[in-house]
Amino acid sequence: MNPTMTDSKDSLVRLSILLPVRNEGINLKIMLKILRAVLEIPHEVLVICDSPDDTSIPVVEAMHQEYANLRLVQNNAGRGVIKAIRAGVDAASGEYILIFAADEVGPVLAIEDMLHLIDEGCDFVSCTRYAHGGRRLGGSLLGQILSRIANRLFHLLSGCALTDATTGIKLMRRSVYYQLNLEAQPVGWAVAFEMSMKAQLGNFKMGEVPIISIDRLYGGASTFRPGPWTLEYLKWFIWGSIRLRSKTNRKPEVLVRKSPSSTPLAAKVTK
């Protein structure tokens, strides 16, 4: 399949979903079926691969006929989530950019709530596993412990308004992405941590949606490496703590959408 293949209805696309993958064939197939079933907004799905022999590519090729707004993007800039995201944004057509991990099947149901907050005026919406009823299940036990403790400490010490700054599920206006000036090293999802800080430093209106995150429900190998990940995240932890604390004495307001069955804005929280 041609990596630059586009849908003839690009002009109607409002949402571009970016899925950086590395050999996520099984998870990706399930993710795409769920996305196709639950999303009503005009959208496209961009699956971004670093390698031409990635096991995700046959899944995209097989499903393209039934999912016409599905595209494959080859990232030629080198390995890493941040580079895959750049390649995906450059190829995207949508007004809104949603960054999503292909092994995170559960949070797909939160996309509509994230879009609702965008429609209510938010510029940047993040998910949370650690507040407002959110939960994290599965994955590396060590990764879970480090993530929970680090997010809690960062929220308290830095003045970060988001309760889960490191989650890789982010929705933003396309114009916001270009203003973030992302610089993280291609280590894990450190770029998502950087996004959370720079969205607040940029005074963008932020929102948060609780999710039940189920890591690697359908298998696959985690790329978590304690040494490199800890060093890169620690660097951004220190950077963000200094910058956020020096910028403001009060955490900005974050709009929280708890459930689609509640009022349009389920909670309005000043953290």
Q: What is the DSSP letter of 78?
A: -
> Under DSSP, is residue 172 helix (H, G, I), strand (E, B) or coil?
strand
Distance, in Å, from the CA atom of 69 to the CA atom of 36, rounded to the nearest integer, reads 10
Q: Is 240 exposed, middle or buried (0-12, 13-18, 19+ CB in 10 A)?
A: buried
pLDDT value for 223: 55
**DSSP letter string, 97-154:** EEE--TTB-GGGGGHHHHHHHHHTT-SEEEEESSSTT-EEEES-HHHHHHHHHHHHHH
pLDDT value for 137: 79
Distance, in Å, from the CA atom of 169 to the CA atom of 191, rounded to the nearest integer, reads 11
User: Which range (73-82, 180-189, 227-236, 242-251) has the least confidence?
Assistant: 242-251
- Total Cβ atoms within 10 A of residue 201: 14
Q: How many residues in the chain? A: 271
Q: What is the DSSP letter of 10?
A: G
Question: What is the four-CA torsion angle of 87, 185, 50, 226, rounded to 10 degrees?
Answer: -140
Residue 264 banded pLDDT, cuts 50, 70, 90: very low
pLDDT of residue 149 exceeding 80, the answer is: yes
Residue 141 banded pLDDT, cuts 50, 70, 90: confident
Residue among 37, 26, 85, 10 nearest 59 (CA): 26
Span 2-15, pLDDT tens digits: 343 444 445 589 99
Residue among 18, 16, 9, 28 nearest 216 (CA): 28
pLDDT of residue 44 exceeding 70, the answer is: yes
Distance, in Å, from the CA atom of 77 to the CA atom of 48, rounded to the nearest integer, reads 12
**Contact of 31 with 108, CB cutoff 8 Å:** yes
pLDDT value for 269: 45
Query: What's this model's pTM, rounded to 2 decimal places?
Result: 0.86
pLDDT value for 45: 96
Distances (CA, A) of 18 to 6, 147, 171: 14, 23, 10
**Contact of 209 with 170, CB cutoff 8 Å:** no
Residue among 235, 219, 215, 217 nearest 141 (CA): 215
pLDDT of residue 152 exceeding 50, the answer is: yes
Say which CATH class 13-270 falls into. alpha beta
